[in-house]
């Protein structure tokens, strides 16, 4: 286990397109400098290709710690770039949900997050892949995609995490059930055919959707994926499921199919877009896999979310 203060060179990348990013650069840079962390370069980006090019540049320049401020989609993109390298990722929560920060027990307040970063420890976490693209929290098809599409930037700015509940209600009213087939390349489960579905999700981390738990036992360093499918059902049954989303016990419902695996292939009828940590970037059929201990990341010194094991 390393300490953050051992970093020789640090790059700070702020996504100004995230909910808090546009106003955060001076606050974060000042906080990290007061913590006596050697910030070598500060970048401000606005997402998309600019974000990827900047992150790749930061890694190529030889910084051993890249601190990224943004939402979960931004952090997942960064994780995909540093995965498998010795570069350490620092996380500053600047999005709407900030579920990765919740999983890693990183404070949501930026000043506190900077202090935790300065005094933090380095652990390694798993990285999910969907058709080769990275995700840290959850990938999903079905209702969640409609929710993401309904989450306008204006709504997120106005009410923050509450926007997820509003968008869910809007999307549920127009949802069309679908069919899915789950296949398991490692042979640890038999293929499964599922009809009349509301949503299929594959979780790598513990939290998603503004604080919902993937399952009671899900973790970001357990080296497995949590797969669940929610069946379409009468509204009263969906309300029961919704009430247990926060603790993950919804997976125990008769209307939910749940299992774990390191690899799964999802085929849907009709083909559907797939949401990766709030970004719709691929579609079905989708091959999911988990990369064990792929990303080195800084967590608070008292965090119990993950340990440093090394890749094996």
Residue 1 above 50 pLDDT? Answer: no
The residue behind tokens 């070598």 is: 40
Three-state SS annotation for 192-235? EEEEEEEEEEEECCCEECCCEECCCCCCCCCCCEEEEEEECCCH
Least confident of 64-68, 157-161, 245-249, 266-270: 157-161
**Known catalytic residues?**
279
pLDDT at 295: 97
Q: Over the stretch 124-133, which tens digit does the pLDDT of each residue have?
A: 999 999 999 9
pLDDT at 259: 96
- 149 close to 158: Cβ distance less than 8 angstroms: no
Q: Over the stretch 237-296, which tens digit does the pLDDT of each residue have?
A: 777 877 888 899 989 999 999 999 999 999 999 999 999 998 899 999 999 999 999 999
- 90 close to 4: Cβ distance less than 8 angstroms: yes
The residue behind tokens 């202090």 is: 115
Residue 168 above 60 pLDDT? Answer: yes
pLDDT at 245: 82
pLDDT at 77: 94
What is the average per-residue pLDDT within 130-158? Answer: 80
Residue 218 above 80 pLDDT? Answer: yes
pLDDT at 157: 61
Residues in the chain: 312
Least confident of 133-137, 161-165, 286-290: 161-165
Confidence band for 163, pLDDT divided at 50, 70 and 90: low
Q: Give the predicted TM-score (pTM) of the model.
A: 0.89
What is the average per-residue pLDDT within 6-18? Answer: 82
Q: Over the stretch 72-125, which tens digit does the pLDDT of each residue have?
A: 999 999 999 999 999 999 999 988 889 999 999 999 988 899 989 988 999 999
pLDDT at 49: 73
- 171 close to 150: Cβ distance less than 8 angstroms: yes
pLDDT at 307: 94
């Amino acid at each position: 286990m390393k300490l953050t203060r051992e970093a020789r060179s640090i790059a700070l990348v702020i996504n100004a397109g995230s909910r808090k990013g546009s106003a955060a650069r001076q606050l974060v840079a000042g906080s990290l400098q007061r913590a006596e962390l050697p910030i070598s370069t500060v970048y401000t980006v606005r997402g998309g290709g600019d974000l990827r090019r900047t992150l790749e540049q930061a890694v190529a320049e030889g910084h051993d710690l890249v601190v990224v401020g943004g939402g979960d989609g931004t952090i997942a993109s960064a994780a995909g770039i540093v995965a498998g390298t010795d570069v350490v990722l620092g996380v500053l929560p600047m999005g709407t949900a900030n579920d990765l920060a919740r999983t890693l027990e990183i404070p949501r307040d930026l000043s506190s997050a900077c202090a935790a970063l300065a005094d933090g420890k380095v652990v390694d976490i798993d990285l999910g892949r969907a058709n080769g693209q990275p995700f840290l929290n959850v990938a999903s098809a079905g209702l969640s995609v409609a929710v993401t599409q309904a989450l306008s930037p204006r709504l997120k700015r106005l009410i923050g995490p509450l926007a997820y509940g509003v968008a869910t209600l809007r999307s549920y009213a127009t949802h069309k059930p679908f069919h899915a087939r789950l296949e398991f390349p490692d042979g640890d489960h038999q293929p499964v055919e599922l009809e009349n579905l509301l949503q299929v999700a594959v979780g790598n981390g513990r939290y998603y959707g503004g604080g919902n738990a993937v399952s009671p036992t899900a973790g970001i360093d357990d080296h497995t994926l949590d797969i669940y499918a929610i069946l379409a059902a009468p509204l009263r049954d969906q309300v029961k499921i919704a009430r247990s989303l926060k603790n993950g016990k919804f997976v125990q419902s008769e209307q939910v199919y749940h299992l774990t695996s390191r690899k799964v292939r999802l085929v849907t009828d009709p083909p559907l877009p797939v949401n990766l940590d709030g970004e719709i970037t691929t579609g079905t059929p989708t091959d999911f896999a988990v990369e064990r201990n792929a990303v080195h990341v800084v967590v608070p010194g008292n965090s119990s979310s993950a340990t440093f094991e090394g890749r094996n």
